[in-house]
Amino acid sequence: MENQKSFLRLFIAIIIIIILGAAALIYYLYPNVYNDALNSYEDYKKSQSNARIQEKLESYFPQTIGEYTLDTTLGRGRDVEAGCEKVGDHPDTKSFNITGEVCMETYYGAYKTKNNKVVFVSLLTITKGSDIFEGLMKKMSTPLTLNGYSMIRVESHEIAWYPKSGPITAVLTQEGTWVTNEGGWGMMRYGKATGANEVTKAFIEKYPPAVSQ
């Protein structure tokens, strides 16, 4: 029995050596074919990843919400970015004496009405340093109760909340008006965020915050 096990292990080892040797030979004789196959696989993975990201964006941000329409020409339009930031090194947060690294994915959606009322929406998923992020937000904001919900005001034009559950860590909305100057350049003129718009209400319903005590 032991001899049979030894033979089986030897047989498997020989097969592995043959496969590795064949792969090395193919790479040596036909490097372009090997590299093309590898690049094609990487392109396939990238395309699959992009498709999943697009599906997420479409699920997060519907084309219309009431009289608001998704407008991909504004700011980031419908987009996503991911990255990490050492908060102690950032000029906006250095003074808070909070250190550590925060990593997040941020999904953006921009909505506009026919009369140029705009709401920007950011959906944040913290993948590292959620306690650091919440500590920063606490220092950068003031408590706010809106329609019975516990929320925060980050800036005059921006309100935010933490959904009770789900993959989204925080939701931020900014309110204002899109104005175009004589030269044809457009810009956002921010106003005080009230949450009294169809977009903010829709996202509160979709990602409800904790109820204020």
User: In Å, what is the CA distance from 81 to each residue of 35, 84, 160, 199?
Assistant: 29, 10, 19, 21
Alpha-carbon gap, residue 158 to 156, rounded angstroms: 6
Domain ranges of the chain: 2-51, 62-206
What are the pLDDT digits (tens) for 42-92? 444 455 567 788 888 889 999 999 999 999 777 667 889 899 988 877 676
Residues 6+ apart with CB under 8 A from 192: 156, 157, 175
Q: Are the C-beta atoms of residues 210 and 150 closer than 8 Å to each other?
A: yes
Q: Tokens representing 70?
A: 């998704």
What are the pLDDT digits (tens) for 18-45? 544 554 444 455 555 545 554 554 444 4
Render 44-64 in DSSP notation, one character per residue: HHHHHHHHHHHHHHHHHS-SE
Give me the pLDDT at residue 29, please: 55
What are the pLDDT digits (tens) for 133-175? 988 888 889 999 888 899 999 999 999 999 988 889 999 999 9
Maximum Cα interatomic distance, the chain, rounded to a whole number of Å: 90
Q: Are the C-beta atoms of residues 104 and 83 closer than 8 Å to each other?
A: yes
Residue 157 is given by DSSP the state T
Long-range contacts of 84-89 (CB under 8 A, 24+ apart): 84/128, 87/129, 87/132, 87/136
